[in-house]
């Protein structure tokens, strides 16, 4: 974890409020503030994702407040740590509801978000995740849409299909698939990729997120004429797989999902091995979009020169998305905000433009980024179907 993340992690351990603590018994939209809850992973196994989201959304909230706030009122954030644990996700959501927040941002992962959305149905507080890509996140057990849960990212079925189509377009005829069987994320991506890919699947191998040695899989397929290896999981395992593959002399291209878009992936692999790597993501620093350029410049100024990644950008847009909905609602009450979120059309910021679908999933494009020498050198945008 970089220095600026460590500092932010410590800062985020306790409740962070941009405009003062206020009286918890007061209505969330009373006085000069609108209280918004934040339920993210700040410690535990996936803390890096939650911390990044918080950095992005705090930056957005500060900008919104500096420009007059929402409905003439200042944003007040109550930030709590769900510790990357399902029971804590519910506990935090319940506490924020009792503290009269009008909406909740987070969590980051699909499993935690499902838990948060289930709790949101009980508390009737609209809850937004910016990165829960599992297709089933916004669906209840009976297949109906969870009424108070929304996500501002695309789903795994879409990014898995995009990755498969990209492999076909690049001319990869023989792909080894390694997927994380310990997560819905990995299993969902594997299903989408293997169903859409038109070439030969050299092997479809499952690994666990506790594995650290992948030489067994790599040795098995080293001489199989593989054009590319699709690693469908998070950066922790993908980084080790790529490093071990390169050390074995395997120079096949690497394909991956948004879980690879983290600076720690680069650190695990090593710059000398970060070539011919392609992954789907929500945000890229490649290009000359003035809105994105301004975001990058401002982020660097705020966070000691650090370059923002996808999860920072997702948190940033998530905050602006909620602010936009509250403005359109005309009042900061949970039910009116819920209606405005459902009726979102063509909202756009640094991760792209989207409308909210009837399934409470953003209809949004996917970006496929190319790494050479550890740097993003190219990015293609694939629009939703």
Q: Are residues 315 and 246 in the same domain?
A: no
Residue 171 lies in a domain: yes
- Reply yes or no on whether the pLDDT at 127 is more than 60: yes
Look at residue 124 in the predicted model and tell me its pLDDT. 98
Look at residue 16 in the predicted model and tell me its pLDDT. 44
Residue 38 lies in a domain: yes
Q: Are residues 307 and 357 in the same domain?
A: yes
Look at residue 11 in the predicted model and tell me its pLDDT. 43
Residues β-bridged to residue 67: none
Residue 380 lies in a domain: no
Q: pLDDT per residue over 185-228, tens digit each? A: 999 999 999 999 999 999 999 999 999 999 999 999 999 999 99
Q: pLDDT per residue over 78-125, tens digit each? A: 999 999 999 999 999 999 999 999 999 999 999 999 999 999 999 999
Among residues 256, 281, 306, the one where a domain terminates is 281
Only one residue has tokens 């494009």, namely: 365
Average pLDDT over residues 178-183: 95
Q: Are residues 40 and 187 in the same domain?
A: no
- Reply yes or no on whether the pLDDT at 293 is more than 70: yes
Q: Are residues 78 and 161 in the same domain?
A: no
CATH code, 259: 3.40.50.2300
- The helix or strand, by DSSP H or E, that contains position 193, with its residue range, turns out to be helix 184-196
Among residues 281, 304, 336, the one where a domain terminates is 281
Residue 369 lies in a domain: no
Q: Are residues 162 and 148 in the same domain?
A: no
What SS3 class is residue 94?
A: helix
Q: pLDDT per residue over 249-267, tens digit each? A: 999 999 999 999 888 899 9
Residue 381 lies in a domain: no
Read off the DSSP letter of residue 222: T
Only one residue has tokens 């399934």, namely: 359
Q: 16 near 59, Cβ under 8 Å? A: no
Q: Other C-beta atoms within 10 Å of 121: how many?
A: 14
Q: Are residues 69 and 51 in the same domain?
A: yes
Residue 373 lies in a domain: no
Q: Are residues 144 and 202 in the same domain?
A: no
Residue 99 lies in a domain: yes
Look at residue 30 in the predicted model and tell me its pLDDT. 57
Q: Are residues 9 and 145 in the same domain?
A: yes
Q: pLDDT per residue over 299-348, tens digit each? A: 999 999 999 999 999 999 999 999 999 999 999 999 999 999 999 999 99
Q: Which domain holds residue 199?
A: 156-281
- pTM, two decimal places: 0.86
- Reply yes or no on whether the pLDDT at 8 is more than 50: no
Look at residue 22 in the predicted model and tell me its pLDDT. 39
Residue 376 lies in a domain: no
Structure tokens of 186?
């990995």
Q: What angle do helix axes 47-66 and 3-12 make, rounded to 10 degrees? A: 80
Cis ω for the linkage preceding 107 (within 30 of 0): yes
Q: 306 near 2, Cβ under 8 Å? A: yes
Q: Are residues 13 and 145 in the same domain?
A: yes
Q: Are residues 187 and 304 in the same domain?
A: no
Look at residue 198 in the predicted model and tell me its pLDDT. 97
Q: pLDDT per residue over 295-306, tens digit each? A: 999 999 999 999
> How many distinct structural domains can be found in the chain?
2
Average pLDDT over residues 131-154: 96
- The helix or strand, by DSSP H or E, that contains position 36, with its residue range, turns out to be strand 33-40
Q: Are residues 203 and 117 in the same domain?
A: no
Q: Are residues 219 and 134 in the same domain?
A: no
Taken in order 79, 85, 88, 89, is the CA torsion positive or negative?
positive
Q: pLDDT per residue over 17-72, tens digit each? A: 454 333 433 445 557 999 999 999 999 988 989 999 999 999 999 999 999 999 99
Taken in order 145, 94, 334, 48, is the CA torsion positive or negative?
negative
Average pLDDT over residues 229-258: 96
């Amino acid at each position: 974890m970089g220095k600026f993340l460590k500092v932010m992690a410590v800062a985020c351990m306790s409740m962070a409020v941009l405009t003062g603590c206020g009286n918890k018994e007061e209505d969330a939209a009373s006085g000069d503030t609108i209280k918004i809850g934040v339920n993210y992973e700040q410690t535990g196994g996936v803390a890096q994702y939650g911390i990044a989201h918080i950095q992005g959304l705090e930056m957005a909230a500060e900008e919104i407040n500096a420009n007059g706030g929402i409905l003439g009122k200042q944003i007040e954030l109550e930030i709590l740590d769900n510790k990357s644990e399902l029971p804590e996700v519910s506990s935090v959501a319940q506490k924020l509801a009792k503290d009269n927040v009008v909406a909740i941002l987070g969590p980051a992962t699909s499993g935690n978000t499902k838990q948060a959305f289930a709790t949101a149905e009980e508390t009737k507080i609209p809850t937004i995740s910016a990165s829960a890509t599992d297709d089933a996140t916004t669906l209840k057990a009976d297949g109906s849409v969870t009424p108070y849960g929304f996500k501002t990212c695309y789903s795994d079925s879409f990014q898995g299909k995009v990755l498969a189509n990209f492999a076909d377009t690049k001319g990869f005829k023989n792909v080894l698939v390694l997927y994380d069987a310990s997560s819905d994320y990995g299993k969902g991506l594997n299903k989408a990729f293997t169903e859409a890919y038109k070439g030969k699947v050299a092997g479809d191998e499952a690994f666990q997120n506790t594995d650290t040695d992948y030489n067994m899989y790599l040795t098995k397929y080293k001489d199989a004429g593989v054009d590319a290896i699709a690693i469908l999981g998070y950066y922790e395992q993908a980084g080790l797989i790529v490093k071990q593959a390169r050390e074995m002399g395997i120079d096949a291209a690497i394909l991956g999902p948004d879980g690879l878009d983290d600076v720690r992936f680069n650190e695990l692999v090593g710059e000398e091995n970060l070539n011919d790597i392609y992954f789907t993501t929500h945000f890229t620093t490649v290009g000359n979009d003035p809105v994105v350029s301004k975001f990058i410049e401002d982020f660097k100024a705020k966070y000691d020169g650090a370059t923002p990644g996808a999860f920072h950008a997702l948190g940033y847009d998530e905050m602006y998305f909620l602010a936009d909905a509250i403005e359109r609602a005309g009042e900061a009450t949970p039910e009116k905000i819920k209606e405005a979120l459902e009726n979102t059309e063509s909202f756009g910021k640094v991760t792209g433009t989207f409308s909210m679908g009837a399934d409470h999933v953003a209809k949004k494009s996917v970006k496929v980024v190319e790494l050479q020498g550890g740097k993003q050198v190219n990015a293609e945008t694939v629009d939703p179907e």
